[in-house]
Amino acid sequence: MTTPNYWPSLPLIPVPLRTAIEQGECVPFVGVGASVAAGLPTFERLIVPLARDVAGEARIETFRTASGYDLPGLAGICEELLGRINLVTRIRKQLVGIRHEPTDIHRLLARLKTNLYVTTNWDTLLEDAIQQVRRTSPDVIVRDDDVRLFRDNVPTVVKLHGDVNHLPELVVTRKDYEARVNRDRIIDNQLTVWLASKSFLFVGYRLQDDDFQYIQRRVLDRLDRGGPVHYAVLFDDDRPADRVGNDNVQVLHIHV
């Protein structure tokens, strides 16, 4: 299997990962980097201007850290001042106001043999790519009640943080993240089962992302040693590492 053209510097794909891909046992776990490549805004570009508008420069500066803004914290201030409905409605407007097309990354992932996809993204680009490539609409799992609808023979996208079509489920604020970590969710339990039997490929995350930190705390830390190896494609501005705090996860670095 050749290296995708848009990742020209990706090391040779490890044999276990190549085998998992060929056997349909590789599950893409897609982060915001894939959506940014399609022209959608990052979490920072969504939240910082909104927080500056409603809270003022002086207040948002109190949320600045050594690595940037505490974005879920800023989102919490926006929720406090605007109300929950206004906050998520504004987010949705920015994500759906202009039509964006799936990228080569989305389409490549849609061509994998797997019928299972997982993402923390709010947009529908992954679903759109599956529709374009496979000529069928995927099932979407957002709420715990949706898990019972999972079918092995149908493409399915599991959306851990909600999406633009399920606004009450959006994970935006620090309170939302902490609620996800502290609550025993059926979706997370099912994800742990899948992680114990399949190789996951994390694409579009950075180690410092709140989404990746959530995955680390809520999911990866649950894994037992000796299970399948998972892979995280990370960019060269992340700290050098071969693992991400878990022996089951191997890092593949991209030099950009």
Burial (CB count within 10 angstroms: exposed 0-12, middle 13-18, buried 19+), residue 38: middle
The answer on 164 and 73 residing in a single domain is no
Tell me, what DSSP letter sits at residue 112? S
The amino acid that residue 200 corresponds to is F
pLDDT of residue 2: 37
The answer on 82 and 165 residing in a single domain is no
Tokens of 32: 């915001």
For residue 1, is it within any domain?
no
Among 72, 96, 120, where does a domain finish?
96
Predicted TM-score of the model (pTM): 0.87
Statement: residue 218 has pLDDT above 70: no
pLDDT of residue 10: 44
Tokens of 23: 């056997």
The answer on 229 and 121 residing in a single domain is yes
CB-based contacts of 205, cutoff 8 Å, min separation 6: 31, 32, 33, 211, 212, 215, 232, 234
**What residue numbers bound the domain in which 77 lies?**
43-96
Q: Other C-beta atoms within 10 Å of 157: how many?
A: 23
CB-based contacts of 43, cutoff 8 Å, min separation 6: 32, 71, 210
Q: What is the pLDDT of residues 38-65, one digit of tens each?
A: 999 999 999 999 999 999 999 999 999 8
Q: Where residue 116 sits, what CATH number does that domain have?
A: 3.40.50
The answer on 119 and 234 residing in a single domain is yes
E strands, 6-128, in order: 26-30, 64-65, 68-69, 116-119
The answer on 157 and 68 residing in a single domain is no
Tokens of 48: 């910082």
For residue 33, is it within any domain?
yes
pLDDT of residue 103: 93
pLDDT of residue 29: 93
pLDDT band per the 50, 70, 90 thresholds, residue 7: very low
Statement: residue 99 has pLDDT above 90: no
The answer on 123 and 163 residing in a single domain is yes
Statement: residue 235 has pLDDT above 60: no
Helix (H, G, I), strand (E, B) or coil at 151: coil
Question: CA–CA distance from 44 to each of 41, 68, 83 (Å)?
Answer: 8, 9, 19
pLDDT of residue 159: 95
The number of distinct structural domains making up the chain is 2
Cβ atoms of residues 19 and 12 within 8 Å: no
Q: Other C-beta atoms within 10 Å of 16: how many?
A: 15
The answer on 115 and 52 residing in a single domain is no
